[in-house]
Structures are given as C-alpha cells and as structure tokens.
Structure 1
Amino acid sequence: MTQENNNQDKIQINIWKDFFKYLKPYKLEFGILALMMICLGILDSVFPLMTKYAIDNFIEKNTLAGIEKFGFVYFSAVIALSLTVYLFISLAGKLETKMAYDIRRIGFEKLQLLPLSYYDDKAVGWLMARMTSDIGRLSETISWSLVDLAWGFSMMTAVTIAMIKLNFKLALITLSVIPILAVISFYFQKKILKAQRDVRKINSKITAAYNEDIQGAKTTKTLVREDINLQEFSEITTSMRDKSIRATVISSVYLPIILTLGSIGTALALNYGGKGVLLGAISYGTLVAFISYTAQFYEPVRQIAVIFAELQAAQASAERVFSLLNEVPAIIDSGEVKEKYGDLLNPKRELWPEIKGAIEFKNVSFSYKTGETILDNFNLKVKSGETIALVGETGSGKSTIVNLFCRFYEPTSGEILIDGINYKDMPQNWIHENLGYVLQAPHLFSGTIKENIKYGNLNATDEEIIAASKLVDAHSFIMDTEKGYDTEVGEGGGLLSTGQKQLISFARAVVRNPRLFVLDEATSSIDTETEKIIQDAIHKVLDGRTSFVIAHRLSTIRNADRILVIRNGKIEEAGNHKELIKKKGYYYNLYTNQFIEEKSMDVLG
C-alpha cells in the first residue's frame, strides 16, 4: 500500500487552493451563505445594545414610554435572526450534498482514466476511504465550518466595534487576553493537525482490512486464520483507538483553555466595569451590555477553535482526496492526439483508422517503478490474424508483453506499432475498443447474464448476445438456468461456477467483435470438461483475429501459429507446436512433463 506524507504540521494553502477550484460552480451559494453569516453576526451584536437601551430607558427611568416601538423593533430582529438561521441551515445542507456528489463523481471518473499501473500499489481500502469518508468529511466541513468562520469573524468585528463605541478603555481591558489566545491557538493547531492525519491514515488501513477479510473469507476458513486475522485487526483498531483518543484529548485540552481565557475577559469586564458603575463613569446598562458582549465575543472564538480543529481534520482528508484527484496518469494521450482523435471520454471514432492487426515490438524495453527491468531490447513481429502463444515461468515477462501490447503500460523505451502506426500516436481507446480480453479469474458484475455479456457491447442486440454465447458454447448452460439470460449472477458472479463465469466472460469479449484478442490463463481455473468446450470456442473465436494467448495448460495452445518460450524477458524458443517438440528443448520438456502428469491423473480417475 502506498505511503502517505505525514510530515507537514501546518495549514497547507496549496491544498485549499486546489479545493477552491472545485467550488467555482457554487460561488453564488457560498456568497449567499457568507452574506447570511455576516447578517447573523451583526444581528447577534444588536441584542446587547437593545438590552442596554431597555435598562437605561425603561428600568433606570422607571417608565414604559416608547416600549411598543421598542418591542416591535426587538420582535422584528428576532424574526430576521430566525429566518436567517433557517435559510442558512437549508442552503448549507444542500451545498454539502451537492459538493460530495460532484467530488465523488470527479473521483470516480479519475479512477476510470488512470492506467493499471496506478493500482499496482493501491489497496482497495485506501481508495474506498478517499471516495467515502474523506470526501464526506471534506464536504461537511467546507459547507458548514467555512461559512461559520464568516459568522464568527463578522460577529467578533461587530462586537469589537460596539464595545469600543460604548467604552474604549473597558474594551481594551476586556480584549487584552486575545494575544495570549492567538499564541496558544498557533501551538495547538500543529498538534491537532498531526493527530488528525494519523487518524485518517489508520482509517484507510481499517477499510482495507475489512475489504481483504471479506474477499478472503474462504481462504481464512480453509487456513483456519480466524484468530490470526482477529489479532491483526485488533492491532489496527487499537492503534485507531489510541490515535483517536490522542486527537480528542488535544482538542479537549484546547477548548477549555479558550473558555478559560473567555472567562478571564468576562471577569475583567465585571471588575473594571463594576468599578466604573460605582464611580458613575459608565451606566448600568453599559455594564450589562459589556458582560453580554464578552460572552458573545468569546462564543465565536470558541466556535472558531472548534472549526479550527475541524479544518485540521478536513485538511488531512483534503490531502488524501487530492492525492487521488491530482494524480497524473502514467499513460496520457498527447495534445495533438486528443485534438485530432478525441480523448477517453470524448472520442472521435469516425477519424480512427481501422485496425487490421499487424503488431511489431521494436527494440522495446520496460522497467517497473521499482526499477526492476522486465524486457530489454525486445523485438517481435506478428502478422495480422496470427495467434501467438506465450509460455514461460512465472515472472519471465509474458504478462508484461501482453500488458504492453494492450497499452495498459507503455514501453520505457522503444516502440510498439499496430499496422505500422506507433500506438502512442493514437488514442488509448483505439486499441481498447478493438480488444477482447479474457482473464484467468473472470470478474462479473452484479446483474443478469444478459447484462454481463452486453457489458462488452452496450449496443449489442439480443440476437448478437445469443450468437456470441453459442459461439463459445455458453448458450446451452444458460438456457438450463431458471430464467435463462435473465438469471442473476450475484455479486462478482458468486451464484455461478468458475467455468460458467469464464464462458460468460468469453461471450462478453466475443460480442465486441474485436480485431485483437488476449487470453490470459483463461483455462487454468476450470475443469477439464469446460476446458475442452473453451478450447473448441477458442479455435472459432481467434480465427482471423490477431491474438496473444498466455497458457498454463499447454494443450490449449497446440494449434497456435507460433509459440514463444519467454525466459528472463527474452524469446528463448519460437515455432509452432510440432517444431518445438522436434527441438526437444525447454518447451518439449515442459509439454511432456505436463502430458505425463495429466495422463496419470486420468488413469487415477
């Protein structure tokens, strides 16, 4: 799993600049929210002045003259305050939902565009945490907390102005604790941010652990790993508990300090203000207003402290979300290619040349990010319609050759030509839309058999789906199911056998009518009877198509036009089945050993 940068200990402006790019569609909504919060702050600051007016004019003078007008103004202010709060809650809630939706949509789109190499070191839980909890935390904090900041600062400004207007000297005394508060806040923001980063990081590990344990439930049972898995998971959750407690403790220490400083400010107002009342320097109404203002001033300070802590957590989430959204794909089409032929999401198919299927690897070298070299100056020419089988030990480079051919990866150096065209001069879709790919472990999506086959070609008719199924000999077993093509396959195809899933995935590839075909160990996980069915289908399907076949069972590739023995990224032997048997080299030994093993198994029943 990829490691995260956890070394920064302050607010990262660049992170928030990135985020504000995604807020452009909501500029108006945010403007309205900010305006509401400013109005709310000003309205809140009006009530102590009205209290002062009531004390000085009604209580001190012992008269009710003008109270009707005062009551109307006071009641109007309450109505305005209530309406503003209602509109704020309504708009902020909608904004939170819309932002989460948009960022998740953009994130999902990004995942579709990233090449396979991106997923090499990314656990599913790592990605899921970003798409769910991290985005949720981010949108919630932005839609509520940032606008709360507008309220807090506007209210503090309004209260400060009102206090200075009422009594400049008392205002300075009351606000004298602000510099101390600023220093303490600066210190705690570093601690809170680091703690929140640790919490979000471990949250990914927990999500990944859930995912792995659920997907590997059968392996867990067969290896009797329940207690070990529980112990490993307990270690992660214990770490999550400890880190969460630490983050909570830091925040809980910070807030009482803020409240204490606020209380000191209130005490200063009472002490010096009380003396002023006794000396007749200020009115009793002014003292009551000051006490109210000190409480009002430090309430947004306390709220800002809470928001500040939330922003630390939100930044930890933002860093993780934007590490995904800002990921630069390892494989990208050039600007010239996009302009001429379109991109992955907006292709200009009418301009694409038709693929005939002649392939050439020209001085191709390839190394993974780790620096491990798999292919070095590899050369291969494949005629249109030719079937090439790749044989060799695990790690010899067979899958790398196929992945490069499919442009799931690109050569470190050298060229791959399709019909004489360097495939980097064409959009990625040009190959992928002409490619049929059948994996060793087929993946089916939740839905019906028909939907899974049609996934290969969304424009396929029922007749084409049935024709593809018949071509791979899947039609008979499909019709034996209760609902035929409308039978549900379950999550991941769990309601079907491995052989049935493989036949459906084969039909899904065939219904595309691709010019290029790849079979990656397509018969290694199925029974002998189903293998024979698929072998017959392979001969029909690959006819006239350029294809690469990676095979563990060598009986599958006897009819290949050429068999390449790959060792250490190089072609050690090449020829058809008969030619390689005559050479009595690596392929001969591999084939005869496997043949003897299979016959022995047949004899033993």
Structure 2
Amino acid sequence: MAAYEEQEYNKPFSIRTWAKMLPFFRPYRKYFGISFCLNIFLAGVDVVVPLFQSFAIDRFITPGSLDGLGRFALVYGLVIVLQTICVYISVHAAIIIEMNLGRDLKWAQFEHLQTLSFSYYNTTPVGYIHARVMSDTLRIASMVAWGLVDMFWALLYVVSVFVIMFLLNVRLALVILLIVPCIAVLTVYFQNKILHWNRKVRKINSQITSAYNEGITGVKTSKSMGIEKENAHAFFEQTLEMKRAAGRSAKLNAVYIPAILLFSSVAAAVVLAQGGYMVQEEIMRLGTLSVFISYAVIIFEPIQQLARLLADLISCQANIERVMDLLEQKSNVVDRADVIEKYGDAFSPKQENWERIKGDIVFEDVSFMYPDGKEYVLEHFSLHVPAGMNVAIVGETGAGKSTLVNLMGRFFEPTSGRILIDGVDYRERSQLWLHSQIGYVLQNPHLFSGTVRENIRYGRLTASDAEIEAAAESVSADQVVKKLEKGYESDVGESGGRLSTGEKQLISFARAILADPAIFVLDEATSSIDTQTEQLIQQATGKLLKGHTSFIIAHRLSTIRQADLILVVKDGKIIERGTHRELLEEKGYYYDLYSRQFEEEASMQVFAEGGRTGC
C-alpha cells in the first residue's frame, strides 16, 4: 500500500497567509490592545533607564554632589514599580490570548472535521490530522501570544534607542546603525532556507505522529506477527530523518544569530574607541558615553531577539498553512443553502421540519465514480427497495460491496441519476435528516470510551435507563452485561478494547435498537465469533431487521438465504440480482461463490469434529 504523501508547503513568507488568522484574532483584540499598549510603555522604560544612569553620573558622580538624590531615587523607584505592574498585566493578557486562541483553533478544526465527507478520511491518516489539531495549533498560539508582542517590543525598543542616540551624538549613532543593513541582508538570505527546513520538520513530525498512532492501535497485530523489531526500525528511521531536518534548521539559526552578534560586537567596539576619545577631548560628557555604552551592549539582545523571532515567524507560516489547509478542505457532499435553511445542519438541526422516513428507496438510473477514480463503478443502475425489504449485498473481498450502501447513506452522491427516499430526491433534504434514520452495525463496531450504558445511550441520548436495559435485553446484549463486574456501569475501554468482537457487536445492536431508525445497514461478519455468540447475533439480527428496510453486506452466504433480494458484486459492478433460490437456479457467479463457501464450511466442520473426537 502506497504511503500517504502530504502536500508540500513551499510558499514564501506571505502576509496573506497570516491574514487568514484575523478571524481568530478578532475576539481577543482587547487583550492584543492591552498587550501592545503596555509594551509601548515597557519599551519606553527600557529606553529611559540608561538616561537615568547618565543623569546620575553628570549630576551626582562627576560634580560629587548629592543634592536632589532623594527625588531622583523616588522617581526611579516609581518607574521600576510601574514597569513591574505592566509586565504582570502584559503576561496575563498574553496567557489569555495563547490559551483561548489555541482552544479556538482546535475547536474550529474539530468542528470542521465533523462536516467532511468519507473521502477525506479514506485518504488522510489520523496522525496527520492529529498533528494539525494539536501541535500546529499550539505553535501558532504561542507565536501569536508571545512572539508577535515580543517582536513589537524589540522593534520599538531598537527604533527608540536609535532616535535617542541620534539626538545625543550623530557620529556614534551612525556607527551602530551600520549593523541594520547587515541584519537585513542576513535575514533575506536565511529566511527561505529556514522556512524550507522548518516546513520539512513539520511534515516529518506528522509522519511520526501517524506512525506512533498506528503503532499503538495496531499493537495486537504487531505482537501476533512478531514484527516489533521491524516497527521499531521504521520508527527509528523516521525520527532520524526528523533529527537531520531539525539539525539543518538549527544549524541555519546557529549561523544566523551569531553572525548578527558579530556585527553588533564590532559596532560596539568602535563606539567604545570613538566615545573614549571624544570624552578625553571633552567633546562628549562621560554620562553621554555611558548611555551609548549601555545602549551598545543592551541593544545586542533585542536585535538578536528580533532576528530569532523573525525566523520563528517565518517558520510558523508552515503551521498556519497546514491548519488552514484542513479548514479549507471542502466536503464532497454538501447540502444546498435552501435545504439548510429548512432542515438545519449538523450543529443546528431543525428537527421540527424533519419528515419521518418510511424506508422506500429508489436508485433511478444511477452512475457513480469515486472522486479520485477514473472509471464508473456503477453505470445506469436502477433498483426499487420498498419499505421493509431486506437487501443482501454479496461478493468477494474488495469487490465493492460498500458502494451501494455509501450511496444510499449519502456519504457519496451519484455522479449522475437520482436516489429517492420515500419518493423525494434525498438531496432535497439534509444529510443529518437521513443519517439520523440509518442504523449501522459494523463488522468491527466502534465503541466510545465510557460505560456500557453510555455506549448504548448514544443510540438515543434522551433514553432512560429502563429503555437502555430493555433494548439490551431485546437483542441478548444483557448476557454480555451480566458477565461484567459492574454491569451496565462497566468501562468498555478505548474503542471497546475490553470486550470481544462479538460482545461489541451485541452492544452495538442494542444501540441500534434504541435508536429505532427506519433503515438498517449491517456488516454481517461472524467468522471470528464463537458459536454461542454467533447464535445470539443471528437472533438479534432477526429482531433488529423486522419491519425495517435493511442492507446486509454478507460475508457468509448461508446467513442471507431469506433475504428478499440479493445483489452480487464483482469488480465494483453488480452482475447478478435475485433471491437465493433464483440465483442458485441461474448457476452463475453467485452459485459458484455459494458452492465454494459451502464446501469450505463443511470441511472446517469435519476438521472441528475430528479434533473433538481425537481423530
């Protein structure tokens, strides 16, 4: 199976990309305003502090006088106290921005994921989605809350310092100003290289997350096949590639920032030499030189900080591109605006307008091609399924048995033709209206983390405990519950991992019974279930389907003999249709499938009986 190839993000730094984040910034503009305003004050204080030093040297130290020292100390102390208060408020605002922005980005992605069609999940590994929702949003929130504000402070500080230096002494200010074009040249040179490697780091991180997810969810398979060593080696190779990419990024930053420091240090040395000479010649006061020395030393840090944050800002664009790529994904199945207006959507349903589904289904000249396909898997297919009919879909593994079910459930839509539910094109009504009336029982059903009672209640959230227990008893799921230590309050584990496949199926049957939908879809696979559980499931199936329109994806042909209609699928095409008797009489593909499977089951039974008798 070919590995999923993630989209490359190779755009240069773009204001338009960052502008896409404005809707997420807007709710917190008050906190942005507070943070930026306070940083203006803080930058001013940091700029003024060396001037206090200059004043003290020229007013108190050089003349040897303490006149006015008390007032000076009071003003200086007041400035420091105000600076401390502003830092506290600014940090508080940044924390609010970071926490809330991260939450909003996660929520927006999670909500959007609920609206995407099956095709997106069929082609996108969980690890890649997880990396976008978790790590990318954290990086963006951190950069916006702290990085942008720190960049604003650093830029304001550097500009203010240069303004004051020019006012004090143009000659020395020009010497220090020489570092600015050097920084500009270095930034232009390094930004694309840094951005490239940081994008690569984020891409590999997604692959590692995906591999980690598969390693955990597939641990039983790995252990049963004894491939732990191979898994570990593959994971090591991915992390090694991550290390190399991160190393290249780190090396670029390691060259970029010290290069800036080098130019800054040279400029500071020149200032010390020139300034010392000017003080000696009494062209400049000692206090003024002390200001220049302080600025020349202190300005290194904000310039380095500005350079580092600019590199982070550049690399963070890759995170924004990945998050926005997910948010801009379009579903292949979308309700029209007028349909949403009447029926609502998944998050704001208008159930008072929903018609009750009877279950009469018509495929009217339907042709279908998968979104990424090149040929039709259904062509001019027509079928009428009256309400209450039981339709079985059979075929070998990979034949395309789920296509009809996916079309009927509107997880995909016909490329041409129509599907009618109770005489109305199902595109005239909302997806949620239809999905709420379809009950699914899968071959390996998914249970959510929580108790047995909570999992059954998902069928109908308003159901009482008595209704839940009655639904379980009707399909014999109560026999599973009796074996559990805490009964209905027993935890099923992640994905139902504490229960067997058969036990999970029985609970999913109870959940479906509780929902009481008009249409049922069953992935009827019982090959890995013990005989007793299989009998319980067969009994539950009979109760479940009684009086409902149903589609059974059949794996064991002996279980669908009583189906009203059997559709035989081969290579994605429906090649035969009829009842069990009719298809056997035709002696076609279904006949061959049934005969072959009957012989295999008979052989297995003989071997099983031989094992019990010791033969």
Instruction: Report TM bin, short chain.
Output: over 0.9
Residues 502-532 of structure 1 deviation map (CA, whole Å, 9 limit, x = unaligned): 1111111121000011012343442333222
Superposed displacement of residue 294, structure 1: 2.2
Q: Distance in 2 between matches of 1:334 and 1:437?
A: 26
2:415 maps to what in 1? 412
Task: Write the mapping of 1:416-427 to structure 2, written as runs, cut at 5 A.
Answer: 416-427=419-430
Query: Which of 587, 591, 595 is the aligned partner of 1:588?
Result: 591
SS at match of 1:362: strand
Q: Find 1:192's aligned residue among 191, 194, 197.
A: 194
Contact 1:9 1:191 in 2 (8 A): no
Tell me, yes or no, if structure 1 residue 235 matches structure 2 residue 237.
yes
1:561 equivalent in structure 2: 564
CA distance in 2, matches of 1:604, 1:524: 16
Letter in 2 for 1:244: A
Q: Give the AA of the match of 2:61.
A: I
Cα distance in structure 1, aligned partners of 2:10 and 2:574: 49
Task: Tell me the equivalent position of 2:23.
Answer: 21
Structure-2 residue corresponding to 1:429: 432
- Paired with 2:528 and 2:428, the residues of 1 have a C-alpha distance of 37
CA contact (8 A) 1:360 1:416 kept: yes
Match of 2:460 among 457, 460, 465: 457
CA–CA distance in 2 between the matches of 1:5 and 1:180? 35
In structure 2, distance between residues paired with 1:128 and 1:183: 38
1-structure distance, mates of 2:136, 2:193? 20
Q: What is the CA distance between 1:262 and its match in structure 2?
A: 1.4
- Report how many aligned residue pairs link the two structures: 605
Alpha-carbon offset, residue 495 of structure 1: 1.4
Contact in 2 for aligned 1:100/1:139 (Cα 8 Å): yes
- What is the identity, as a one-letter code, of the residue corresponding to 2:499? L
2:209 alignment partner, one of 207, 210, 227: 207
SS of residue paired to 1:407: coil
Match of 1:55 among 54, 57, 62: 57
Gaps of 5+ in 1: none
Give the TM-score taking structure 1 as reference length.
0.97
Q: 1:244-286: per-residue Cα shift (whole Å, max 9, x none)? A: 1111111111110111121122123223222222222221111
1:9 is displaced (CA, Å) by 5.4
CA contact (8 A) 1:440 1:525 kept: no
Greater shift, 380-389 or 313-322, is seen at 313-322
Compute the displacement of 1:536 (Å). 2.0
2:325 paired with 1:327? no
Report the counterpart of residue 543 of structure 1 in structure 2: 546
Q: Is the 8 A contact 2:343 2:433 kept in 1?
A: no
Give the match for residue 529 of structure 1.
532
Q: Measure, in 2, the Cα distance between the counterparts of 1:310 and 1:19.
A: 17
Q: How does 1:463-474 map to 2 (within 5 A)?
A: 463-474=466-477
SS at match of 2:238: helix
Displacement of 1:601: 2.0
Q: Does the CA contact (< 8 Å) of 1:390 and 1:549 recur in 2?
A: yes
Name the SS of the counterpart of 1:22 in structure 2: helix
1:319-372, Cα deviation, whole Å (9 max, x unpaired): 212211222222211111111211111011111222111111122222223324
Structure 2 residue aligned with 1:91: 93
User: Could you tell me how far 1:204 is from its partner in structure 2?
Assistant: 0.9
Letter in 2 for 1:574: R
CA contact (8 A) 2:9 2:199 kept: no
Q: Which amino acid counterpart does residue 410 of structure 2 have in structure 1?
A: R
Give the Å deviation of 1:568. Answer: 3.5
| Alignment partner of 1:375 is 2:367 | no
1:215 Cα deviation after fit:
1.4
Residue 603 (structure 1) aligned with residue 583 (structure 2): no
Shift of 1:106: 1.6
Check the 8 A contact 1:352/1:430 in 2, yes or no. Answer: yes
Residue 100 (structure 1) aligned with residue 94 (structure 2): no
**Structure 2 Cα separation of the partners of residues 473 and 588 of structure 1:** 34
Q: Which residue of 1 aligns with 2:611?
A: none
C-alpha RMSD of the superposition: 1.6
Tell me the CA shift for residue 564 of structure 1.
1.1
Structure 1 residue 2: Cα displacement: 4.5
Identify the residue that residue 167 of structure 2 maps to in structure 1: 165
Alpha-carbon distance in structure 2 between the residues aligned to 1:454 and 1:372: 42
Judge which range, 264-273 or 248-257, deviates more. Answer: 264-273
Which whole-Å deviations, capped at 9, do the CAs of 1:25-61 have from their partners, x for residues lacking one? Answer: 1000011001111111011000111111111111222
Cα distance change of structure 1 residues 138 and 240 upon mapping to structure 2, 3 Å threshold: same
Alpha-carbon distance between aligned partners in 1 of 2:241 and 2:91, rounded to the nearest angstrom: 36
Distance in 2 between the 1:115 and 1:67 partners?
74
Q: For 1:71 and 1:467, how far apart are their aligned partners in 2?
A: 81
Query: Are 1:494 and 2:497 counterparts?
Result: yes
Q: Assess if the C-alpha contact under 8 Å between 1:361 and 1:417 holds in 2.
A: yes
C-alpha distance in structure 2 between counterparts of 1:369 and 1:421, whole Å = 25
Amino acid corresponding to residue 145 of structure 1 in structure 2: G
Please name the residue that 1:135 is paired with. Answer: 137
Amino acid at match of 1:201: K
Change (3 A) 1:381 1:448: same
Q: Partner of 2:298 in structure 1?
A: 296
Q: One-letter code of the match for 2:210?
A: A
> Residues of 2 paired with 1:313 and 1:88: CA distance?
25
Which residue is equivalent to 1:110? Answer: 112
Where structure 2 has 5 or more consecutive residues not aligned to the other structure, the ranges are 609-615
What is the aligned-residue identity percentage? Answer: 47
- The partner residue of 2:480 within 472, 477, 482 is 477
Q: CA deviation at 1:7?
A: 5.3
Matched, 1:515 2:518: yes
Q: 1:573 matched to which residue of 2?
A: 576
Residue of structure 1 aligned with 2:246, choices 226, 244, 247: 244
Q: Give the counterpart letter for 2:50 in structure 1.
A: P
Counterparts of 1:52 and 1:481 in 2: how far apart (Å)?
A: 79
* TM superposition shift of 1:313: 3.0
Matches of 1:511 and 1:141, distance apart in 2: 48
CA distance in 1, matches of 2:513, 2:15: 51
Q: Which shifted more, 272-281 or 340-349?
A: 272-281
The one-letter code of the counterpart of 1:107 is Q
Structure 2 residue corresponding to 1:121, chosen from 120, 123, 129: 123
Partner in structure 1 of residue 397 of structure 2: 394
Q: Secondary structure at the match of 2:178?
A: helix
Residues 48 and 292, structure 1, Cα contact 8 Å, conserved in 2: yes
The answer to whether the Cα contact below 8 Å between 2:525 and 2:556 also exists between their aligned partners in 1 is no
Code of the residue aligned with 1:430 in structure 2: it is W
CA contact (8 A) 2:182 2:260 kept: no
Q: Report the CA distance shift for 1:41/1:172 in structure 2 as closer, same or farther (over 3 A).
A: same
Letter in 2 for 1:386: M
Contact 1:159 1:296 in 2 (8 A): no
Structure 1 counterpart SS, 2:82? helix
Q: Which amino acid aligns with 1:538?
A: T
Change in Cα spacing, 1:260 to 1:9, as seen in structure 2 (3 Å) is farther
CA deviation after TM superposition for structure 1 residue 570, in Å: 3.4
Pick which of 36-45 and 296-305 moved more.
296-305
Query: Using the alignment, how far apart are the partners of 1:276 and 1:411 within structure 2?
Result: 85
| Aligned mates of 1:275, 1:369 — CA distance in 2 | 77
Contact 2:200 2:245 in 1 (8 A): yes
TM-score, normalised to structure 2's length? 0.95
| Distance (whole Å) between structure 1 residues aligned to residue 205 and residue 422 of structure 2 | 49
Q: Give, in whole Å, the separation in 2 of the partners of 1:447 and 1:587.
A: 42
Q: Which amino acid aligns with 1:600?
A: S
Q: Distance in 1 between matches of 2:337 and 2:502?
A: 44
1:118 aligned partner, one-letter code = Y
1:79-128 per-position Cα deviation (integer Å, ceiling 9, x unaligned): 11121222222221232112111211221111222111111111111111
In structure 1, C-alpha distance between the alignment counterparts of 2:75 and 2:91, rounded to whole Å: 25
1:169-212 deviations in Å (ceiling 9; x for gaps): 32122212211210111111111111111111111111111111
Question: Following TM superposition, by how much is the alpha carbon of 1:418 offset from its aligned partner in structure 2, in angstroms?
Answer: 0.8
TM-superposed deviation, 1:477 = 2.8
User: Partner letter of residue 168 of structure 1?
Assistant: V
Q: Which stretch has the larger CA shift, 218-227 or 186-195? A: 218-227
CA distance in 2, matches of 1:278, 1:9: 55
